[in-house]
């Protein structure tokens, strides 16, 4: 570890590969306890105990690695829900945790897009049914707190991981691993560091990797509500000039809502009396679910975008919102984060303990394309809703027209949505019988 109070230096990474593998590392003066207490040691140190961090802990501890998760106590409950697509459900099932949460999850058998922009060029209603590609459901929706509790309990049950309730304040990276410096004065020595500490990741900043950030003039309001009529396992996304208004099944006659609006309007919505807001939600949905009753607190989250300049380097990998961030459109956010964890799991299992300090480069090469394509597509979709430029509105309308009218294109889009790259595998697999699963479900 660099000496206390040292100036910014350059730490060489494995292989003697020259300047591309030497990166700046800022160090701070640490409390005296950091020099006196022996370090905590682990194969893998994870900064952050959100959903991505807990999934990474479960996957790697299940491989037999010793894992320590470092995170402060949460400051507020997470009332959001997560729509887990079929590929994510399959991964959680392989980790042995899906059955613990399956009963609390609502299936998503169909997805509907409604153009509610009121503009000159409007698209027809687009309906996507999982049965059309041989699936019972595109995925399942459940509350984040249930998902997090199941991941945490399963990770602890491996007997290979532990939690430290502290914040990671800095890090030093060496050829043989990393040292995470914590707010309580202790340090964690590990062979591989996993940044799962969100959009303002300390590990990303400490590594010098950097990021590209942008903002949107939007805020997402989230809540859960009960309703009079059955949702028939159908998620409905109303596209409005200010962003998506998305209603997702959460249980029998219960749904979750992600309502994206301009910040001032979002503040009004979040402060509205529940009965008044319930009537407004019913009107927005054109009463398709009947009367509405709000059954949760209301939370608001400003929308922003971010992508890291790299997703791994040497003994560091970035997962979840430490690597990428974009608006909640098409249920892509956490599913992309789970694909981060799935690759981390696979590479860690292949390289073993001795290979962990060099895992970052391979991880970056294999994640860059998927993250880049998903970030660009969601950003384009969101900006097309906000744009008042007629050619952009026309192009968006024509694209949805094509999905409605051209069945093979619609099926390819559905497979790509739930499992990236599956459209190519589907073309190579050839036609399947009605009882055979598609390659997207494998």
pTM: 0.84
Tell me, yes or no, whether 31 lies in a domain. Answer: yes
In this predicted structure, what is the pLDDT of residue 97?
Answer: 96
In this predicted structure, what is the pLDDT of residue 348?
Answer: 98
Q: What gap in Å lies between CA 60 and CA 53, rounded to an integer? A: 11
Output 385 or 141, whichever has higher pLDDT.
141
φ, ψ for residue 201, nearest 5 deg: -50, 125
Q: Write out the two tokens for 354.
A: 């001795």
Mean pLDDT (whole number) for 228-257: 94
In the predicted structure, residue 328 carries a pLDDT above the cut 90: no
Give 311's DSSP letter.
S
In the predicted structure, residue 424 carries a pLDDT above the cut 90: no
Tell me, yes or no, whether 117 lies in a domain. Answer: no
Indicate the pLDDT class of residue 387, thresholds 50, 70 and 90.
Answer: low
Tell me, yes or no, whether 364 lies in a domain. Answer: yes
Q: List helix spans (H) across 114-168.
A: 144-157
pLDDT tens-digit profile of 16-34?
333 333 344 433 444 444 4
Tell me, yes or no, whether 72 lies in a domain. Answer: yes
> Beta-strand (E) ranges in 61-203?
67-71, 81-85, 106-108, 110-115, 126-129, 139-143, 161-165, 168-174, 177-182, 187-195
Q: CA angle, 360 as apex, 357 and 361 as ends, to 5°? A: 115
In this predicted structure, what is the pLDDT of residue 62?
Answer: 96
Tell me, yes or no, whether 362 lies in a domain. Answer: yes
Cβ-contact 199, 211 below 8 angstroms: no
Indicate the pLDDT class of residue 434, thresholds 50, 70 and 90.
Answer: very low
Indicate the pLDDT class of residue 388, thresholds 50, 70 and 90.
Answer: low
Question: Based on the structure, what is the number of domains in the chain?
Answer: 1
Tell me, yes or no, whether 347 lies in a domain. Answer: yes
Tell me, yes or no, whether 52 lies in a domain. Answer: yes
In this predicted structure, what is the pLDDT of residue 400?
Answer: 76
Domain that holds residue 366: 9-76+146-213+310-374
Distance of CA 335 to the CA centre of its chain: 5
For residue 178, give the CATH number of its domain: 3.50.50.60
SS3 label, residue 66: coil
Q: Work out the percent of the chain whose per-residue pLDDT is above 70.
A: 83
Output 409 or 45, whichever has higher pLDDT.
45
Indicate the average pLDDT of the chain: 85
In this predicted structure, what is the pLDDT of residue 19?
Answer: 34
In terms of Cα–Cα distance, which of 85, 99, 140 is closest to 440?
Answer: 85
User: Across-strand partners of 293?
Assistant: 226
Q: What gap in Å lies between CA 207 and CA 203, rounded to an integer? A: 6
β-pairing, 211-227 vs 254-261, is: antiparallel
In the numeric block, the tokens 């990797």 are attached to 209
Mean pLDDT (whole number) for 236-253: 93
In the numeric block, the tokens 């903002």 are attached to 215
Q: What gap in Å lies between CA 118 and CA 95, rounded to an integer? A: 45
Tell me, yes or no, whether 403 lies in a domain. Answer: no
Cβ-contact 153, 168 below 8 angstroms: no
Q: Write out the two tokens for 103.
A: 């009963």
């Amino acid at each position: 570890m660099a000496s206390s109070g040292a100036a910014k230096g350059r730490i060489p990474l494995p292989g003697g590969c020259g300047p591309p593998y030497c990166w700046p590392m800022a160090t701070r003066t640490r409390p005296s306890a950091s020099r006196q207490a022996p370090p905590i040691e682990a194969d893998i140190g994870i900064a952050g105990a959100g959903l991505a961090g807990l999934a990474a802990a479960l996957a790697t501890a299940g491989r037999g690695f010793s894992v320590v998760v470092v995170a402060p106590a949460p400051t507020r409950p997470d009332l959001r829900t997560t729509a887990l697509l079929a590929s994510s459900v399959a991964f959680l099932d392989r980790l042995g945790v899906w059955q613990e949460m399956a009963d609390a999850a609502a299936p998503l058998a169909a997805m509907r897009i409604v153009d509610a922009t009121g503009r000159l060029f409007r698209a027809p209603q687009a309906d996507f049914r999982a049965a059309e590609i041989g699936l019972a459901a595109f995925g399942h929706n459940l509350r984040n707190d249930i998902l997090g509790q199941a991941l945490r309990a399963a990770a602890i049950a491996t007997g290979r991981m532990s939690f430290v309730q502290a914040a990671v304040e800095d890090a030093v990276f060496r050829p043989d691993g990393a040292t995470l410096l914590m707010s309580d004065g202790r340090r964690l020595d590990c062979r591989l560091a996993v940044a799962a500490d969100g959009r303002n990741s300390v590990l990303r900043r400490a590594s010098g990797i950097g990021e590209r950030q942008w903002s949107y003039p939007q805020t997402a309001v989230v809540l859960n509500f009960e309703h009079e009529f059955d949702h028939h396992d159908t998620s409905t996304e109303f596209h409005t000039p200010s962003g998506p208004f998305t209603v997702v099944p959460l249980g029998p006659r219960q749904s979750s809502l992600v309502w994206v609006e301009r910040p001032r309007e979002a503040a009004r919505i979040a402060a509205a009396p529940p009965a008044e807001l319930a009537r407004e939600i019913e009107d927005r949905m054109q009463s398709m679910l009947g009367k509405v009753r709000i059954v949760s607190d209301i939370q608001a989250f400003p929308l922003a975008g971010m992508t890291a300049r790299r997703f791994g380097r040497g003994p560091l990998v970035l997962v979840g919102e430490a690597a990428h961030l974009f608006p909640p459109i098409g249920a892509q956010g956490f599913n992309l984060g789970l694909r981060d964890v799935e690759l981390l799991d696979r590479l860690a299992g292949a390289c073993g303990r001795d290979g962990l300090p060099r895992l970052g480069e391979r991880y970056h090469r294999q994640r860059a394309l998927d993250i880049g394509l998903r970030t660009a597509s969601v950003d384009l979709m969101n900006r097309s809703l906000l744009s008042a430029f007629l050619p952009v509105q026309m192009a968006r309308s024509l694209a949805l027209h094509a999905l409605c009218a051209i069945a093979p294109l619609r099926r390819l889009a559905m497979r790509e949505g739930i499992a990236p790259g599956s459209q190519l595998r589907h073309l190579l697999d050839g036609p399947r019988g009605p009882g055979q699963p598609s390659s997207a479900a494998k």
